[in-house]
Structure 1
């Protein structure tokens, strides 16, 4: 059995040594934002056809108790809306601006004065990310990137934002979803989703004999080991992006709401438990989930538009179960989510789902019978919404219990009306039902001993600087 386990581990590590991760973002820490214990934040993308206003975005963040966000730019409206809140924000320099900033001190100084100094201390800017996956989108940008970071640091010093040069962190994008998809069957789905594994199914590093129960930890540790090989052992890491898509095309069968809910729920609990990784147990790995909203304007496969936790109108894409995460995502608002029929859903499909919910699903459908409080409006959609919600709460709002073959959706808007009270409203005609609702391109990976990857890591570590300021 031990031999089989090691063979499995070697095959697994061939996929997991996805590392060294081709560093996705380079930057500075301001005000020591990543060092204050474990947290989970959200990335805020803006490729939406109906992008909410900055005030609406911040309102959602405040309602859901999301206190750490990362922007992909330094949008003035967002930075003003975030002023005088408890939300800490990392801003970014888009790739198309990095080249200009690498040309002169004056360009960098102007950028810092306009996008950082002008908002402090009202807006809690805690970090600056220079580019996003810039070395994959602009392969020749390495030399300019070095200059841009040097000039930016000089500009921060000149603006009296340099503070002390210690305790900065390395940011990276980690996507177990892509590791699984590109693993050719070598990476079990449960291993990618943080699901429990029996000991014989755990991956074992043949060099250290450390056991790994999930892809995420293996990827983080691969970065730690790569840094150790270069004699850097005291640098923290922050995961700038991770997540799981809730929908994909035919070639992405594992991009589902159930898998997205499972991955992100387990991720949040894993981070807040401060379990650390096998190499560094108990060391927090602060993480930003990709992402706040589904971005319907994103190019690429269908999954690219479906990484968000929320729709543009603020309703959750799926339910998360994140007990033990404190107030994050306004946890434990159990009775404030509802399962209703999707607007525009096919009537025949709704009727079939309604029949199932009131029959084999054993939902309480008494209130939608003739003469009862929820009979009107007498439409398939209205009756389906009541039945779907009854089933959803009857199952404890379990993951996957509000799908009904795609004709149902979760909402935080109470659908009760007149004397018709839905389960979860606190006055239900049907008292049933715990869970929590809320609601690239990604990373290019290289083998750990790849010379280019090591060069990039050395490049970054040579520039790793903190610009701390107590505000």
Structure 2
């Protein structure tokens, strides 16, 4: 009995570990495309670029079959046209799950169902049954005993948050509060996540010059242009972070917490009409490459640093059949012949050293001690640097002086946050260097050799899900440890039975 209890506890522990891996970048795949490649060709493209998470805007049978045995995590979509019927009848929801989920498991790794897309603004007449649709689908998953491996949620737009800045005061449009409350209650009860469609492009264009373009593109801002929430004093170095925080604060305004946000759509159009001057290849390339680096930084927005922002880029191919302005048809990162529209790496292997550029941020020699102490206090406090290694008895505690401790804290903060605009200044007490400041067993974050010491043992993205190629059998270190422990328990259990 004791062995069984330990086994259960270990399985729970392993489950917690598996859910705490690094953030990932996924891709949306739409079908309003002329000359859409075959499903097999699409999957070959995903494999070639090590894309491990996809969101299908519907439940296309060809794609679901082609994704079988690839290991790619798949989010399937209930179309807006299907939401009303599913929300009105449990039998319709059950039939949908049987046809579009159960039929493909376990070969196809379906992990989530997205119920509609921006239902509240796209088809407001279906809003009253949105929560019912989610509940019916979840109950169908329970009936098929697969609810433990799939999450159900619904992508919601930023439009339902009328004043997203400052993030600390953001709230949902009160006319939707009843529906949103029901959705949040469902997400909380089922341990699911909030799906957010967040487009800095639209926010920047509609701001009419209030926010600088660099802010929308994850580019560094000068001290004069820094965006600060006047209530929390959080510094927002990207519009993307501010939008995600606005959603978190809107959720909190309805007295919910602990519901993580997954960004189901974001991106930047690479071509637009005469009145869309910011839809350019240069801006799209800058935004999406910086977005990948930002997400794989593995940290959340300022108010929720421990919640990484898993994100799906919109989108794989241009959906040239879509109506609307020219830019609406030019979000794709690949052409239908498989060539890239612009250089973009979605692989964690290419980004695993994003924090290891060979540039370190250290305290200046001879800097004022009081200023250094203030900078150290800020980095370890509001800056959210990981300063555990410079605590008494840890590997980077000695030499025990402000200069050394400030260097470690400055660099940890800089390496964690530089991809979202952090600078190495600290009131003039810091400077960059290409000389690795690591010494002895103390390794500074960003060092090419982090095998021991006070920095992160592994770069946050090096062993995360994004680093696995589609269909690979690469095991994470946690998985190996859990497997060995379970094997040991199994052997012990057999030995005990033999003795008895």
TM class by shorter chain equals: 0.5 to 0.7
Q: How far is 1:151 from its partner?
A: 1.5
Give the secondary-structure state (helix, strand or coil) at the position aligned to 1:319.
coil
Which residue of the partner structure matches residue 209 of structure 2? Answer: 185
Work out which of the residue numbers 140, 143, 147 in structure 1 matches 2:125. Answer: 140
Q: Deviations over 1:9-39 (max 9, x none)?
A: xxxxxxxxxxxxxxxxxxxxxx999864200
Q: Distance in 2 between matches of 1:108 and 1:167?
A: 20
Counterpart of 2:263 in structure 1 is 239
Question: Over residues 60-115 of structure 1, what are the superposed CA-to-partner deviations in whole Å (9 max), with x where a residue is unaligned?
Answer: 00000000000011111100000000211000000001111122111111111111
2:103 is the counterpart of 1:118: yes
User: How many residues matched?
Assistant: 299
Deviations for 1:144-183, whole angstroms, at most 9, x for unmatched residues? 2122122112211111122396532100100000001100
Which TM-score applies when normalising by structure 1?
0.61
Q: Map of 1:265-344 to 2, 5 A cutoff?
A: 265-320=289-344, 325-326=348-349
Please name the residue that 2:60 is paired with: 75
Shift of 1:208: 0.7
Task: Give 1:167's aligned residue.
Answer: 191
Conserved? CA contact 1:248–1:303, under 8 Å: yes
Distance 1:167 1:149, change over 3 A: closer
> 1:13-412 residue pairs with structure 2 within 5 A?
36-163=21-148, 167-320=191-344, 325-326=348-349
Q: Distance in 2 between matches of 1:135 and 1:242?
A: 18
**Aligned equivalents of 1:78, 1:211: Cα separation in 2:** 42
1:140 Cα offset (Å): 1.5
The residue aligned with 1:453 is none
Where relative contact order (Cα < 8 A, 6+ residues apart) is larger, the structure is 1
Please report how far the alpha carbon of residue 277 of structure 1 lies from its aligned counterpart in structure 2 after TM superposition: 1.2
TM-aligned CA deviation for residue 294 of structure 1: 1.2
C-alpha separation between the residues in 1 aligned to 2:230 and 2:138? 41
| 1:435-446 aligned within 5 A | none
The alignment's TM-score, normalised by the length of structure 2, stands at 0.57
Deviation (angstroms), 1:55: 0.2
Report the 3-state secondary structure (helix = DSSP H, G, I; strand = E; otherwise coil) of the residue aligned with 1:140: helix
Asked if the contact 2:293–2:351 (Cα under 8 Å) also holds between the matched residues in 1, the reply is no
* Residues 201-229 of structure 1: CA deviation (Å, up to 9, x unaligned): 11110111111111000000111111222
Structure 2: gaps spanning 5 or more residues:
1-15, 150-188, 355-500
8 Å Cα contact 1:203/1:212 also seen in 2:
yes
Q: Which residue of 1 aligns with 2:391?
A: none
- Go from structure 1 to structure 2 and tell me whether the alpha carbon gap of 1:32 and 1:170 turns closer, same or farther (over 3 Å shift): farther
Instruction: Note if contact 1:70-1:90 (Cα within 8 Å) is conserved in structure 2.
Output: yes
Residue 321 and residue 81 in structure 1: after superposition, are their counterparts in 2 closer, same or farther (change >3 A)? closer
Secondary structure at the counterpart of residue 261 of structure 2: strand
Distance in structure 1 (CA, Å) of the matches to 2:283 and 2:326:
16
Unpaired stretches in structure 1, ≥5 consecutive residues: 1-30, 332-471
CA distance in 2, matches of 1:96, 1:34: 33
The CA deviation string for residues 190-247 of structure 1, in whole angstroms up to 9 with x for no partner, is 0000001122211110111111111000000111111222222211100000000000
SS at match of 1:294: coil
